[in-house]
């Protein structure tokens, strides 16, 4: 029997286990060995839900590996359509279109964690979706996310579920807090869906404004730094971890990511270990990003997890042997994870809104790489592109001489 990539990926459903499963890994390794023996691996067809910049950069990386990508997105003119031959424009609830999509690819991934869970679960009837939806579900719900992290022994800001205004007062009193942040449990990113409140604020008024059944209150962390760690894990359980970047946000939107971060090795080790722990606990296949706060006394607190490529990892395209996008594609397509080694120091700056129209300064300079996502509508606050300044780590010292 000719074992195709699809059969290998869909014939096993890896459990969402805390310890990983050696049996499953053995099975996958054996299947992969059979596939290798045949030496006739067909071009892999990757499907991506979401057509923004993350899908676009993943599709570009896939193309380099000879992998053909189909993008599924509801928006016409999605930036990822520019770089792929195939795309489907349909709603995330359109079952007919979803089935057609799933049947046209070998594996599906997603580039946006607010993809409806029902969409992903439906696709799973026809094909494998990676990273597995169990982790997506956790990352879509702030309460589940915090509980999941704490259950793994990973510290976070103190938090509480809020079901009525009185809960906010109790949260402040119980933890002797003067201030906290009230957040919606779903669909909040780049500062959306949250409000800062102090002990003296009118909780009833704030509660009414959000019109939610349940929210989360989090302690305000007086952090010294924000960092993030990106890990890629393949079907064999092998991982590659990128150097943590130090991230600076402006108006709640990532502005700049810097590597090396300049933080102590002890701090970075903690962040890397926590990230590894999460990846192994969920038997991750693909890329996962974890954002952390670092406090004045060097505590490392997990803030958010995203089972996808991440804005704070865009520097890896120009400063690493294998970028986060290529590694994501490799892992979900059943290929071995590549090196996360950094060959250059780097600073990545997001080009937000109108900033996309002022790239000549970078194009005229030698150490900058400009990435324009090709979005037509430069709304304020919208991520339109990014620029990476590269500082190569060492000069070339060739051992090979020309004759
Ligand atoms: N994205 C996903 N999560 C956070 C971010 N920034 C990326 C994805 C998504 C795109 O942002 O690539 O498709 C949406 O960008 P916009 O500008 O259309 O809102």
Give the mean pLDDT per block of 10 residues along the chain (403 residues).
36 37 56 52 88 98 97 97 97 98 97 95 97 95 97 97 91 91 83 82 83 92 97 97 97 96 97 98 98 97 97 98 98 97 97 97 96 96 97 80 77
Q: Residue of the nearest CA to atom 3 in ligand 1?
A: 112
Query: Ligand 1 within 6 A of 219 CB?
Result: no
214: left (phi over 0), alpha (psi -120 to 50) or beta: beta
How many angstroms is it from 113 CA to the middle of ligand 1? 9
Q: Residue of the nearest CA to atom 14 in ligand 1?
A: 52
How many angstroms is it from 114 CA to the middle of ligand 1? 10
Q: What is the distance between the terminal CA atoms of the chain, rounded to a whole angstrom? A: 51
pTM of the model: 0.88
Query: Ligand 1 within 6 A of 189 CB?
Result: yes
Query: Ligand 1 within 6 A of 52 CB?
Result: yes
Angle at 56 between CA 278 and CA 354, to 5 degrees: 105
pLDDT on residue 319: 98
Q: Give me the domains of the chain, ranges plus CATH numbers.
A: 45-129 (3.40.50.20), 158-219 (3.30.1490.20), 223-402 (3.30.470.20)
pLDDT on residue 8: 36
pLDDT on residue 7: 38
pLDDT tens sequence across 16-41: 443 344 555 565 566 556 555 544 56
pLDDT on residue 5: 40
Query: Ligand 1 within 6 A of 311 CB?
Result: yes
pLDDT on residue 206: 84
pLDDT on residue 23: 54
Q: Residue of the nearest CA to atom 10 in ligand 1?
A: 52
Which residue among 112, 114, 254 has the greatest number of ligand 1 atoms within 8 angstroms of its CB, and so is best to mutate? 112
pLDDT tens sequence across 262-279: 999 999 999 999 999 999
């Amino acid at each position: 029997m000719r074992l195709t990539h699809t059969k290998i990926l869909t014939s096993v459903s890896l459990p969402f286990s805390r310890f990983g499963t050696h049996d499953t890994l053995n099975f996958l390794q054996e299947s992969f060995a059979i596939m290798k023996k045949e030496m006739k691996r067909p071009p892999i067809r990757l499907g991506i839900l979401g057509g923004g910049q993350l899908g676009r950069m993943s599709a570009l990386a896939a193309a380099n590996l000879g992998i053909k990508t189909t993008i599924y997105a509801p928006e016409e003119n999605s930036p990822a359509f520019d770089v792929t031959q195939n795309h489907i424009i349909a709603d995330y609830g359109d079952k007919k279109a979803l089935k057609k999509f799933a049947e046209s690819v070998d594996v599906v991934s997603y580039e946006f964690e607010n993809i409806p869970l029902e969409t992903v679960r439906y696709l799973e009837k026809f094909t494998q979706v990676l990273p597995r939806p169990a982790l997506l579900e956790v990352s879509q719900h702030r309460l589940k996310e915090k509980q999941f992290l704490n259950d793994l022994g990973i510290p976070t800001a103190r938090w509480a579920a809020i079901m009525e205004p009185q809960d906010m007062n109790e949260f402040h009193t119980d933890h002797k807090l003067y201030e906290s942040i009230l957040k919606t449990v779903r669909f909040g990113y780049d500062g959306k869906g949250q409000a800062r409140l102090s002990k003296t604020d009118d909780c009833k008024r704030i509660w009414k404004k959000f019109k939610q059944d349940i929210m989360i209150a989090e302690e305000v962390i007086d952090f010294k730094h924000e960092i993030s760690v990106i890990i890629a894990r393949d079907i064999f359980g092998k991982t590659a971890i990128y150097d943590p970047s130090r991230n600076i946000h402006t108006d709640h939107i990532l502005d700049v990511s810097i590597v090396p971060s300049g933080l102590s090795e002890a701090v970075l080790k903690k962040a890397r270990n926590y990230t590894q722990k999460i990846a192994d606990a969920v038997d991750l296949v693909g890329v996962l990003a974890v954002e952390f706060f670092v406090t004045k006394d060097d505590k490392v607190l997990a803030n958010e997890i995203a089972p996808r490529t991440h804005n704070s990892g865009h520097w890896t395209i120009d400063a690493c042997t294998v970028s986060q996008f290529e590694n994501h594609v490799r892992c979900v397509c059943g290929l071995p994870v590549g090196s996360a080694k950094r060959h250059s120091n780097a600073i990545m700056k997001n080009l937000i809104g109108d900033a996309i129209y002022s790239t000549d300064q970078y194009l005229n300079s030698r150490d900058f790489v400009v990435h324009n996502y090709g979005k037509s509508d430069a709304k304020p606050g919208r991520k339109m592109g990014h620029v990476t300044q590269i500082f190569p780590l060492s000069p070339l010292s060739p051992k090979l001489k020309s004759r």
